[in-house]
Structure 1
C-alpha cells in the first residue's frame, strides 16, 4: 500500500511536470502564422507564393473519398478504432526500429500528429512526446473522428510553405482539393513523412516513389483495388512549375505590398504578367546571350514589356538567371541610355514649334570646348529633324536641343513623361548621359504610343485579402503632351526602324517604331520599341560595365526585340 501511494504521488508529480506548460487545448482551432501572398499571372496560373499558404477550408463531405482514405492508409490505418494512441502501431514501430538500429518507422497516430501541429514545437524529447500523447487524448475526447480528420486535412504541413490539402493541391497540381484524382491524393498523403525531401517541385522522383507506397497501402486497406493502384501509379504527373525567372517580376510586385495591404491578411494578387510573352522574353534572351551575345562579350541583359495604354507590365526579365542573380537590372540598375534618350530632346523641340520636316545642320559642332562626334555618319550639311532622330546624328541632336530651349527644357519634357532624373545641366544631356532604369525608360516611351498620356508602371491587376476585394488601382494615365506631339514622335520613331538605326527591329506586316541607344565604348546597348500596343525595352551589357565587342543598340538589342515579338505571336523564325 505504501508503494502504491508513493507510486501514485510520483505519477502525479510526473504528470504535473510533463503537463505544466501545456498550451490551452481550447485554442485548437486558433493558429499563428505568416500571412501568405499568392500571385497569379493575368490568365490565372500560379506565379509565385510566399508566407504560410492555406487554401480554402475544406469539409470532409466535400472531398473525394479517396483523399482521406489515402492519408488514413499510409499514416494511421487504425484511426477509426483507437482512442488517440495506437499501442499496436507503437509496438510495431519499436520492433522495426530496434531491428534496423535506427528510426525507420513512426508510431504516431493522426491525432498525435494533429496535437503536435496545433500545439507543440518540433523539438524531440520525452517530455514533448508525453505532452503530445496527453493532448491527443484530450482531442479524441473533445472531437469526433470526422472532426479530427477535417482539422488534420486543413492543417497538415505538405511542403513549400503549404498547410492543408487544398493549398497543396492548388500549388502542386493547379486544382482545388475537391478535384484531386486518386494518384494526386496519394502524392499529397505521402508528404507528411518528409515534406521538404518529398516535395514534387524539389524531388519529383522521390514524390512518385512515395506515392506508389501510398497506393499500395490503399490497396492493402481496401480503399482501392490492386489493379487501380497499378493504373494510378502510371498516371502520376506533375504540371510544370512556374518559371523561376519571373522571380524578378514577383520581387518587384512585392516591394509595394507592405504599405497597402492589411498586415495580417492572406493576399491573392492577380498580376498583369502575360505568361506567353514572359516565356518568349526568357527563351529569346537566354538564346541570344548563349549564342551571339557570348561571342560579343555580353553577359547580361534585361527586358521589360509594358502595355502602352495602361502601364501594366506584361513581362520582365531582370537578368539572365534569377537563381544565379536576383538583382533586377530592369528596375534597380541605373545606366546611361545613350541615344535612347534622344526622343525627349526631339519632343522638347516639337513642343517648342519645330516639325519633323524642318532642316537641321549635321556638320561638326563645338560648345564650350566640347565637340560631340557622329561616329560613321557622313555629314550632308543639312538633314531633316526626322532624319536626325532616325539616324541618331549627335551634332544634329545637340542643335535640336538648342532649338528646344536647352538642357532645362529637355529635362522638363523627360520628367513630365515620368523620368525621375537627376539630369545633367549641360549639352551632353542630348546624347543620353543621364542615368536611367530600363523600366523608367520604357514607361516614358509609352506616351509616344498612347497619344501623350503618362502611365504609372504597375504589376497588380486585382487584389483580394481573405477573399475580399481591395482597392489597388494605379494612378490613372494623365495627358502630359499634346496628341499632335505624340503623333509626330511616333512618326519619327517609325522612321528610325524603317530606314534608320533600328532597321533590325523591323517585322514584316507589323507597325514598329523605336529608338536605339549605345554608350561610350559599347558599354551599354539599348532598343526601346513599340508594336501591337506594347512598349518593349531591351538592355544588353555587363554588370562591371566592361565594353562589349561592337554591340550597338541597332544590332543585338534590336534583333532581340524582333525575335521576342515573333516568338510571342508564334511567327515562324
Structure 2
C-alpha cells in the first residue's frame, strides 16, 4: 500500500508538472488579446449589385464587437447558467463537470453530458476543430488553462460571447442578435438572451429561422436553468414571454443567388490567395433581376423550368435566372445545363453563308432535299418554293438551312459556332444545322451579343471590382477588348435576318415596340423552347423545358420563351434610347468575293512577291507582263490599284518555286486567279443542285 501510494503520488506530481509546463508554454505562445479579438474563422464576403445594394452576405458574420461592460447582464447570466455554471471558480477545466460526464457515460453507455467549459469552447472555436478525438480534448484542456492563466474571467467571457457560433452564419452575440431579432446585442431582452444562449448546444437544430418552436422550447430550459442558478427570480422568468419575441424577417433565397453562385467562384482566379473579408461589386441590376424573375415565373409552362441570361453590350451580366425557384432547386440552368438549341442554331448556319457570299436578298429554293441519307422537313410539312434568304430565315425553313449548311460545309458552320463562343462539343453531321448539338444558354446568348456588337467578340462577366473591408481596391476589371469575329457586313446581314424573324417570322411574340432582332428555337417533341435576341444594346436569352427532357405540350420558342423575353425586355430597355439596327451591306470595293482578309485590314497593308522575288505593296501588285505601278501614283478608283482584288502569284511562278513543270494550259497574265463562279441568284448563275442520294 505504501509503495502504491508513493508511486501514485510521484506519477500525479509528474503529471502536474507536465501539465503545468504545457500550460505555461501554451500561455506564452498565445496571441495577444487584441489579436484574438481581430481573428476570424473563414472569409466574409459581401456581394453588392451594380448600384451598391447588398445582394447577399456569405461566410461567417461577426457583427460589431461588444465590450464586456456593454454586454447585457442577462446575456452573461444566461450563457454562464446554461453552459458553465462554475465558470467563475474553475481554472479553465471543470473537474466536477468531467466526473459527472463520466458517471453519466458509465450509467447510460452514451455521452449525454459534455464536460466542456466556456473556456474550452472558446479554445476550440479559436484554435481547434470539432473532431471528437482524445488528442483534441487534451489540447483543448491545455489551451483552456492557458487562456485562464493569461486572461481574466471577464476577458474570457467577452471573447467567448463575441466569437462563439450561434447558427445561420452568425458568430458572436451581435451578429446573432441582428440576424434573429433585427437589432444589436446591446438591446437584448431576457427572452431574446435566453433564445441566443440556447443556440450554442445545437445551432442548426434550435435556430429560430429553422424551427421557431424548438428555439422557444430550448429557451424555456435556459430560463429554468437561470432560475435554478439564482441568476433570475421566478417572477422574472414568468415575465419573460418567449412567444412575444419578434423575429427579424429572413432575407429570402432569391434568384440572385443563381448569379452569385456563378460569379463568386471566379474569385479563385482573380484573387487566389486572399482570405480577408472582402466586398464584391457585381454587374447585376436589381431591377432587371426582379423583372427577369417575374418574366420567367409568369411564362414558364406548368411543370417546366425556365432560365434567362441578359447581357449588356460589353458582356456585363445584367440579370440571370437559373430556374423558377432557387430554394427548390439551386441548379443553374442558365450556365450549367446543356440542351439542344433547335433553330436558334441557324444563327451560325446563316453567318457562315453570309461570310461565304450570300446576301439577304439572294434567292434560294425551299423544297424537299436529302443529304447523306438525311431528309429534313419544315415545321408543318409545307414548302414555299423559291424565296429569298431573309424569308427562309424569318420562317425558319429547315430545308434551306440544310442546303446552305451543305454548301458552305458543316465544318464551317461548326467553326463559326466555336468562333462565337460555343464551348460544348459540336457535331458535323448534316442534321447539326437544325441544332442537334447540346449548348449552354449563356454561350448562345454570348453569340447573339457578339452579333449585336457588330461582329466583335463579347465575353460575359459578373464582377466589376473587389475591395477590402476598409475600401482598398484589390481588383478592377480591365476594359473589354472585343476581337472582330466576322466582317461588319456579315454582322449587318445577320442582323437584317434576325430583325425579320421578329418583325414577320416566328418571333413575333418578342416584339416590344422598338427594333428587336432575335431567333426562336424549338426541339423535337417540344422538349425545349428558346428565344434569344437583342435591342438597344441589351441581349437576352431565354430557355424553357423540363429537367427530365420530357415533352412540354405547346412549348415552342415563339410562345412562352418569346413572351418572357418581351416581358423582361420592356423593363430592361425602358430607359435606353431606341436604336435602329445597321443592316446595310457595305462590301469593300476592293473585294470580288468576301473573304477573311477583310477582317485583317486594307490590301495596301499586304506585300506580294513578283517574279524576281521583290516585295511589292498589295495595292500596287501588277500581273505578269504588266508595268509596275509606282507607290504614290494616283489611280482612277481612289488609290486602290487595281480595282479588282490583287491576284495571287501565278502558276508558272509557283511551279518554278516548287520545282515543278508548268502545268498544261496555264494561262499567262492571269496570275492563276480564276474568277469565282457566279453564285445562285446572281446574274449569269444557275441554281446549284443539292446532292441527293
Q: Scaled by the length of structure 2, what TM-score is found?
A: 0.64
SS at match of 1:525: strand
| Match of residue 522, structure 1, among 512, 519, 526 | 526
State the alpha-carbon separation in 1 of the partners of residues 545 and 392 from structure 2. Answer: 26
| Match of residue 167, structure 2, among 151, 159, 163 | 159
State the shift of 1:517 in Å: 0.7
Residue of structure 2 equivalent to 1:496: 501
| Match of residue 199, structure 2, among 177, 183, 191 | 191
State the alpha-carbon separation in 1 of the partners of residues 155 and 302 from structure 2. Answer: 60
Could you list the runs of 5+ residues in structure 1 that have no partner in the other structure? none
Alignment of 1:384-533 (within 5 A): 384-401=388-405, 405-420=408-423, 422-425=425-428, 427-464=430-467, 469-471=473-475, 473=477, 476-480=480-484, 481-482=486-487, 485-507=490-512, 509=513, 511-531=515-535, 533=537
Residue of structure 2 equivalent to 1:142: 150
**CA pair 125-409 structure 1, distance change in 2 beyond 3 A:** closer
State the shift of 1:75 in Å: 0.8
C-alpha distance after superposition, 1:255-290 (max 9, x if no partner): 44434433461463344444554455556545655x
State the shift of 1:340 in Å: 0.4
Residue of structure 2 equivalent to 1:38: 45
Higher mean Cα deviation, 389-398 or 541-550?
A: 541-550
State the alpha-carbon separation in 1 of the partners of residues 524 and 467 from structure 2. Answer: 47
State the alpha-carbon separation in 2 of the partners of residues 518 and 106 from structure 1. Answer: 62
C-alpha distance after superposition, 1:165-204 (max 9, x if no partner): 46656766788x6787658766544421321212344224
Q: Is the CA contact 1:308–1:447 (under 8 Å) kept in the aligned structure 2?
A: no
C-alpha distance after superposition, 1:41-60 (max 9, x if no partner): 5154353635xx25477362
State the alpha-carbon separation in 2 of the partners of residues 544 and 141 from structure 1. Answer: 62
Q: Is the CA contact 1:28–1:119 (under 8 Å) kept in the aligned structure 2?
A: no
Residue of structure 1 equivalent to 2:246: 236
| Match of residue 24, structure 1, among 20, 23, 26 | 26
Residue of structure 1 equivalent to 2:302: 293
Residue of structure 1 equivalent to 2:545: 541
Higher mean Cα deviation, 469-478 or 390-399?
A: 469-478
Q: Is the CA contact 2:48–2:56 (under 8 Å) kept in the aligned structure 1?
A: yes
| Match of residue 373, structure 1, among 373, 377, 394 | 377
Q: Is the CA contact 2:366–2:385 (under 8 Å) kept in the aligned structure 1?
A: yes
State the alpha-carbon separation in 2 of the partners of residues 271 and 215 from structure 1. Answer: 45
Residue of structure 1 equivalent to 2:640: none
**CA pair 266-119 structure 1, distance change in 2 beyond 3 A:** closer
Residue of structure 1 equivalent to 2:56: 47
State the alpha-carbon separation in 1 of the partners of residues 348 and 132 from structure 2. Answer: 66
Q: Is the CA contact 1:70–1:215 (under 8 Å) kept in the aligned structure 2?
A: no
State the alpha-carbon separation in 2 of the partners of residues 205 and 569 from structure 1. Answer: 47
Residue of structure 1 equivalent to 2:121: 113
Higher mean Cα deviation, 280-289 or 1-10?
A: 1-10
State the alpha-carbon separation in 2 of the partners of residues 402 and 5 from structure 1. Answer: 99
Higher mean Cα deviation, 140-149 or 238-247?
A: 238-247
Alignment of 1:334-349 (within 5 A): 334-349=338-353
Residue of structure 2 equivalent to 1:9: 10
Q: Is the CA contact 1:41–1:47 (under 8 Å) kept in the aligned structure 2?
A: yes
Q: Is the CA contact 1:158–1:192 (under 8 Å) kept in the aligned structure 2?
A: yes
State the alpha-carbon separation in 1 of the partners of residues 417 and 448 from structure 2. Answer: 10
> Size of the alignment, in residue pairs?
552
SS at match of 2:210: coil
SS at match of 1:478: coil
Q: Scaled by the length of structure 1, what TM-score is found?
A: 0.75
State the alpha-carbon separation in 2 of the partners of residues 421 and 123 from structure 1. Answer: 43
C-alpha distance after superposition, 1:309-365 (max 9, x if no partner): 232334444445656665543333333211101123333344455444444333334
Q: Is the CA contact 1:112–1:136 (under 8 Å) kept in the aligned structure 2?
A: yes
- Work out whether 1:310 is the aligned partner of 2:314: yes
C-alpha distance after superposition, 1:84-115 (max 9, x if no partner): 56989969x99xx99xx999987865334324
State the alpha-carbon separation in 1 of the partners of residues 455 and 370 from structure 2. Answer: 34
State the shift of 1:372 in Å: 2.5
SS at match of 1:453: coil
State the alpha-carbon separation in 2 of the partners of residues 316 and 172 from structure 1. Answer: 29
SS at match of 1:253: helix
C-alpha distance after superposition, 1:206-242 (max 9, x if no partner): 345556777999999689x969986997452233344
State the shift of 1:524 in Å: 2.5
SS at match of 1:196: helix
Alignment of 1:214-225 (within 5 A): none
SS at match of 2:302: helix
SS at match of 1:293: coil
Aligned Cα root-mean-square deviation (Å): 4.9
State the alpha-carbon separation in 2 of the partners of residues 235 and 427 from structure 1. Answer: 67
